[in-house]
Chains A and B, each alone.
Chain A
Amino acid sequence: SAVISQKPSRDICQRGTSLTIQCQVDSQVTMMFWYRQQPGQSLTLIATANQGSEATYESGFVIDKFPISRPNLTFSTLTVSNMSPEDSSIYLCSGGLAEANEQYFGPGTRLTVT
């Protein structure tokens, strides 16, 4: 299994600012993804983080708003740019090994935008 950590665990930010969330995996993983979850709701996939290339975004999410980096097989960042209250949510990093059909999740970053 893989252990995934995220920083920060929570933050309160003012509208118009940006926040970068870091995701660290304790082992190399082939897959890394970023999800958004409203409290008590399901997970919505934001994008697939691709190592050394641009992330693949889902419908409704764009690079200018959610730039993602993945410089290696154990680390990724998600930036929430020009934040508005509608961006208040829990952001979850996920990683796993495709060949092992395993996907693990970080504890999440709880973001509140005021």
Chain B
Amino acid sequence: AQSVAQPEDQVNVAEGNPLTVKCTYSVSGNPYLFWYVQYPNRGLQFLLKYITGDNLVKGSYGFEAEFNKSQTSFHLKKPSALVSDSALYFCAVRVRSGNTPLVFGKGTRLSVIA
């Protein structure tokens, strides 16, 4: 079975500082990894994905994530946080096979303080 762990319920960071939101995964086989963001009263918005290739993936709004196979991690990062980045962030995984749905972590609430 596949699973995703987001060890932090809440991450607080000052505006302008770098941010990291942690994610580790467990799958049998090679994973497809995703990050989504959810703003209040909004649906999930896709940020980025890792399928294959370069371990550093760049996505929307200046976010990036690094795939680390040995540590089974896919941490989300941004060099300089904005107050508008404050939201709920979800990491998700899918195995490399057909029409299989995403399995989500519990989410991490990011709060960027001015």
A69 to B105, alpha carbons, bound, how many Å?
27
CB-defined interface of B25-60 with A at 8 Å, one 1/0 digit per residue?
A: 000000010101000001111100101000000000
Give, as a whole number of angstroms, the nearest-CB distance from B1 to chain A: 11
- Mostly, the A contact residues are strand
A45 sits at the interface (CB 8 A): yes
A53 sits at the interface (CB 8 A): no
On whether the beta carbons of B43 and A31 are closer than 8 Å, the reply is no
B74 sits at the interface (CB 8 A): no
On whether the beta carbons of A33 and B32 are closer than 8 Å, the reply is no
Residues of A within 8 A of B71 (CB): none
Q: Point out the residue from A43, A45, A102 that lies within 8 Å of B46, measured CB to CB.
A: A102
A13 to B59, alpha carbons, bound, how many Å?
39
Looking at B16-24, B61-69, B75-83, B95-103, the stretch in contact with chain A turns out to be B95-103
Residues of A within 8 A of B36 (CB): 105
Residues of A that sit less than 8 Å from B by CB: 1, 4, 30-31, 33, 40-43, 45, 48, 92, 94, 98, 101-108
Residues of B that sit less than 8 Å from A by CB: 32, 34, 36, 42-46, 49, 51, 88, 90, 94, 98-107, 109
